[in-house]
A and B are shown apart, each in its own frame.
Chain A
Amino acid sequence: MQRIGVFVCWCGSNIAGTVDVVKVAEALKNEPGVVHSANYQYMCSQAGQELIKQAIKEHNLTGIVVCSCSPRMHEQTFRKTAAAAGLNPYMVEIANIREQCSWIHKDMAEGTEKAIVLGRTAIAKVNLNAPLTPGESPVTKRALVIGGGIAGIQTALDIADAGFEVDIVEKKPTIGGKMAQIDKTFPTLDCAACILTPKMVDVAQHEKIKIYSYSEVVDVKGFVGNFDVTIKRKARYVKEDVCTGCGLCTEKCPMKKVPNDFNLGMDNKRAIYIPFAQAVPKVATIDADYCNMLKNGKCGVCAKVCTANAIDYTQKDEFVEEKYGAIVAATGFNPISMDKFDEYAYSQSKDVITSLEFERLMNAAGPTAGKLLRPSDGKHPHTLVFVQCVGSRCASCAEKGKEYCSKICCMYTAKHAMLTRDKYPDTDVYVFYIDVRTPGKQFDEFYRRAVEEYGVHYIKGMVGKVSPEGEKLIVQGSDLIANKQLKIEADLVVLAAAIEPDKSARPLATMLTASMDTNDFFTEAHPKLRPVESPTAGVFLSGACQGPKDFPETVSQAGAAASKVIGLLSKDKLTGNPCVAHSDEMMCNGCSSCEKVCPYGAITYADKEFRGPNRTTLIRRVAQVNEAICQGCGCCTVACPSGAMDLKGFASKQIMAEVDAICK
């Protein structure tokens, strides 16, 4: 029989405000096995923990129940407390009477009654708990960074500088990401390429970093410290280690009408291309959708002109298997499609563009060599209208837009407006906004400068319609401060499109068993206290894949993710979770049901000898669980038809005892 202690926490007024904690402690005193029951204002505090330790010693407790907040919050705290007092940490159970009780109920009587039931349930379980000892597993001291934008680059550099090997997997032919497409950065207006490209070179030259460009992660197996990852190296039809990046092929290729995605389709590239001059690796890639040689075997010009003999039309996708201890997701973002926002006439006029397209138009390496020219006729625009929040903060139009604020648009729009007025003082620039949001160092000062020094017309209100008429775009909007309708004859309209996570994030999250929110942003383990870790052990988050953010924030988060990875890789061994599956060999009939449902591949089979009747020996096939791989999800215990499979710490009889306690 267990000797159980019950500790009811007030959590200040968080619990005590809706739950009569004294009554709960009193009621639970009479449950089977309970020999001690107490309540205290803050059980997690030093004094509260001391109370638990003393009680364990004084009453010779064999198990404890803490009625407090969610186990996600303080289970570890109380397990350590128990261990410090000499009790096995797995003899601790948490009854969540905060998140699942006091916070969601208003009625004191009901809340108290439910808290008692939850406490009773935990007690029923502890009565059947047994001490557990975690195993240990080794750590592969290498990290994988998925995504080679500024987030991935910074994370990789920081991990590599600490002395660990890092691989970057980037799906595009070059690293650099969105930052490579940006012209200047707010609020300092330094050139994005000038601060990014040296970092790209650092990555390329770092002896600890390997870049898998034009590659994708296709499979992830294993667990924290021991991931097995399959990487698909897409055929680029150019030998990466032979190509010198001279670019001759990209000038001679006769296929001239390939939309240049780096310039967002505003100009053309050849079927063999290097995305931009500072690409890393600086290697050509053939676009198989456009290459005549690959499509119908006619051409071969690039192979003829290549002095290095780097072209290989027979190249196939290759699959590489690598081992890592930690994985960082840095998959970034994209502007949303403007297809469903035709009130702004994006599909009707070439002169309605997105802000990212505007970046390329202003960029010296862009399609107009940095001259601000209208895409339709190449004329210099005189009146520009910027529309903010296109698809952002769009609760009423959630089926086409996003409910959240994309965070970066206010600042880059101020930058665009300012740069336009600075370079072309003959322009009139209007910005339509819902709110101007500029929380950040030097941000509001920057926006004020756009208004006060550069004379940008900021109009509070939204645009309802853009109508292409003649050479003009008639912009109809409301000025909420002057309370009137405006009609502006514009030459160029720039839409600050909402940003969303890259489409590759969702399948990646599935592979990593990492959780996402409804917008497909990766979820952090704790929104305040663990912002760069995924709830899945060994998976870390860097950059805009976790939520919209600008460069300074992305780089900070990238560094933070790297420090978490370094912390993990510095360990030689990891303590595992002892709450894993276990098969009773006497009951197992070797049917393979458990193996089929196991998402981690933790179950194997072995032929074992058993004693039969009359001194005979029987050989039977039985399931065996690899405790280092098992994550304790419990799928197998449900699938097992003979009841041989059970979960340590969450055994079927423990769960049934909990259900009985609730229903009592």
Chain B
Amino acid sequence: MKVSYFPGCTLKTKAKELDIYARRSAEALGVTLEEIENWQCCGGVFTTSNDEIATKLSSIRALKAAGDKGQPLVSVCSACHNVLKQTNAQFNNDADFAFRVNNYVKPDEYNGETKVIHYLELLRDVVGFDKIKEKVVNPLTGKKIAAYYGCLLLRPGKVMAMDDVENPTIMEDFIRAIGGEPVIYAYRNECCGGYITMESKELAAAKSKKVSENAKEKGAELIVTACPLCKYNLDKHAEDIPVVYITELLAEALGVKE
């Protein structure tokens, strides 16, 4: 099976592991991630402000590219996924926005029909966690792993519609599928500090420390995330627990890391 893939800028620079292992693992599971041509930066969460049109065109073009192939559009980065999915929802729910956007991209108008799915949803809904379990060669048996959702992956809940915002299970189910033992802790869906780290290191540090300390207190040895910014903040401010990408852990379990 082939799906369209939007890696995003960070995955080409700071978060190469997130990208490489996503591709290798998917291939091992029988899914080819076809990188769409000429993609541009999603613009980060700044584009989700309501009155922006021009900055959302990158998302629209990516959605159109996937739609032309009749494929769903997959991304791994929480921020890219959030922007793509929110833009898609706005296109489908706001006729005025859709009209204005299509004025910009003429003659390559978008029809709104592309499905945006996160890599985790690809694993859960397309591949299936049961199938992943069968393909695991290096199970992470006994490893206590804290899933860190952050804020962008699930919210706003009505648009992202991936999982219950306050009581999510998708990453825990993923951890179980690769043989690990998920750790439930209260701060798993709290913010890491995000871009605040540019303005105030102390504030971001306080937020990130809260997350890692809470995870450690509940017995976690490892934190997994899908978001490069979360990983950056946790690595920088909460140094005493390793933080790895979901894809790296998956590649390790599937035996395709090296």
Which residues of A line the B interface, CB within 8 A? 339-343, 345, 347-348, 465-470
Contact = CB atoms under 8 A, between A and B. Distances in A.
A340 B164 contact: yes
B239 interface: no
Interface string B192-215: 000000000000000000000010
Contacts of A343: 166
Contacts of B186: 345, 348, 465-469
Given A339-B167, A342-B167, A348 B184 contact: yes
Given A467-B214, A469-B214, A470-B217, A340 B167 contact: yes
A348 B167 CA distance: 10
B167 A347 contact: yes
Given A340-B166, A348-B185, A467-B186, 8 more contacts: A340-B164, A341-B167, A342-B166, A345-B186, A347-B184, A348-B186, A465-B190, A470-B217
Contacts of A467: 185-187, 214
A466 B187 CA distance: 9
Nearest to A468: B186
Contacts of B166: 340-343
A271 B217 CA distance: 38
A468 B185 CA distance: 8
Interface of B: 164, 166-167, 184-187, 190, 214, 217
A288 to B, nearest CB: 31
The SS class assigned to the B binding surface is loop
17 contacts: A339-B167, A340-B164, A340-B166, A340-B167, A341-B166, A342-B167, A343-B166, A347-B167, A347-B184, A348-B184, A467-B185, A467-B186, A467-B187, A467-B214, A469-B186, A469-B217, A470-B217
B193 to A, nearest CB: 16
A466 B190 CA distance: 12
Nearest to A338: B167
Nearest to A467: B186
Contacts of B187: 467
A464 to B, nearest CB: 10
B214 to A, nearest CB: 6
A66 to B, nearest CB: 45
A469 B167 CA distance: 18
**Interface hub of B167, B187, B217 (most chain A Cβ within 10 A):** B167
Contacts of B214: 467, 469
Contacts of B164: 340, 342
Nearest to B213: A469
Contacts of A348: 184-186
Contacts of A345: 186
A347 B169 CA distance: 13
Nearest to A341: B166
A395 to B, nearest CB: 13
Contacts of A468: 186
B165 to A, nearest CB: 9
Nearest to A474: B186
Closest 8 CB pairs of A and B: A467-B186, A342-B167, A342-B166, A343-B166, A345-B186, A340-B167, A340-B164, A348-B184
Contacts of A340: 164, 166-167
A23 B68 CA distance: 61
A227 B184 CA distance: 53
A37 to B, nearest CB: 48
A391 B34 CA distance: 44
A339 B168 CA distance: 11
A466 B214 CA distance: 12
A340 B185 CA distance: 15
A480 B185 CA distance: 27
A333 to B, nearest CB: 23
Contacts of A339: 167
Contacts of A470: 217
Contacts of A347: 167, 184
Nearest to A344: B166
Contacts of B185: 348, 467
A507 B186 CA distance: 38
Contacts of A341: 166-167
B211 to A, nearest CB: 10
Contacts of A465: 186, 190
Contacts of B217: 469-470
A465 B167 CA distance: 12
Contacts of B167: 339-342, 347
B228 to A, nearest CB: 25
B84 to A, nearest CB: 23
Contacts of A342: 164, 166-167
Nearest to A345: B186
Nearest to B168: A342
B24 to A, nearest CB: 34
A403 B26 CA distance: 43
A468 B188 CA distance: 12
A468 B164 CA distance: 20
B103 to A, nearest CB: 33
Most buried by A among B166, B190, B214, B217: B166
A467 B188 CA distance: 10
Nearest to A347: B167
A535 to B, nearest CB: 34
A340 B167 CA distance: 6
Nearest to A464: B190
A467 B164 CA distance: 18
A343 B157 CA distance: 14
B170 to A, nearest CB: 14
A161 B164 CA distance: 52
A213 B167 CA distance: 38
A375 B235 CA distance: 37
A193 B58 CA distance: 67
A631 to B, nearest CB: 42
A343 B149 CA distance: 14
A298 B185 CA distance: 42
B106 to A, nearest CB: 37
A182 B74 CA distance: 53
A622 B164 CA distance: 58
B156 to A, nearest CB: 10
A180 B150 CA distance: 44
Residue with the greatest number of chain A CB neighbours at <10 A, chosen from B185, B186, B187, B214: B186
A465 B166 CA distance: 10
Nearest to A469: B217
A269 B211 CA distance: 40
Nearest to B210: A467
Among A341, A348, A466, the one with the most B-chain Cβ atoms within 10 Å of its Cβ is: A348
A345 B217 CA distance: 15
Nearest to B190: A465
